Amino acid sequence: MNKIFSKQFLKVTIDILLVIGFFVSVLFSRHSEYNASWGSFHCIASMIWYVLILVHIGQHWRMLKVLWKWKVIKRNIFTTMTVIVFILMTISVILFIAKINVQSIHVHHIIAHLFWVMIIIHAITKVKRFVRLIKK
């Protein structure tokens, strides 16, 4: 299974889909008061995007396994922060599932904005690696 995740074509494809999914999720999070509904386009697109993030994490699993060592954290601070905010986002979605109310939506929005910022920073810091991956 890990060999499938590590194929260059799949890595490039997942990265491109993640960028597209990011913009779709962000754009449609603002357009409807029905976003608290699991049937909204934002929720459906975001769930698909979340699965793509899990695949992306699987592609980088070896690095993530050592991410908790101080030396690795210092060299990968933005990746570490992105992982932490991803965990917070997961918790906010779980809270959202448990009970949809104004407070859970508010918490989710705050964490989502942090997540967006971290994803943008993470993507910018990894652009060189992405370009090298495409050139191979």
Question: Which residue type does 39 have?
Answer: G
Residue found by looking up tokens 């986002």 in the block: 89
Contacts with 132 (C-beta within 8 Å, 6 or more apart), sequence order: none
Parse the chain into domains and list their residue ranges.
2-135
The whole-number pLDDT of residue 31 equals 52
- Span 87-100, pLDDT tens digits: 999 998 888 778 77
The whole-number pLDDT of residue 59 equals 86
Using pLDDT thresholds of 50, 70 and 90, give the confidence band for residue 118: very high
The DSSP symbol for 36 reads: G
- Span 14-70, pLDDT tens digits: 888 999 988 888 887 765 554 556 677 888 888 899 999 999 888 888 877 787 788
The whole-number pLDDT of residue 109 equals 85
Percent of the chain with pLDDT over 70: 86
Q: What is the pTM of this model?
A: 0.76
The whole-number pLDDT of residue 88 equals 93
Least confident of 63-67, 97-101, 126-130, 131-135: 131-135
The whole-number pLDDT of residue 117 equals 93
CA distance 101 to 85: 22
CA distance 121 to 63: 18
Long-range contacts of 22-29 (CB under 8 A, 24+ apart): 22/49, 22/116, 22/119, 24/49, 25/49, 26/116, 29/112
| Res 3 pLDDT > 70 | no
Closest CA to 26 of 119, 116, 118, 121: 116
Contacts with 64 (C-beta within 8 Å, 6 or more apart), sequence order: 57, 83
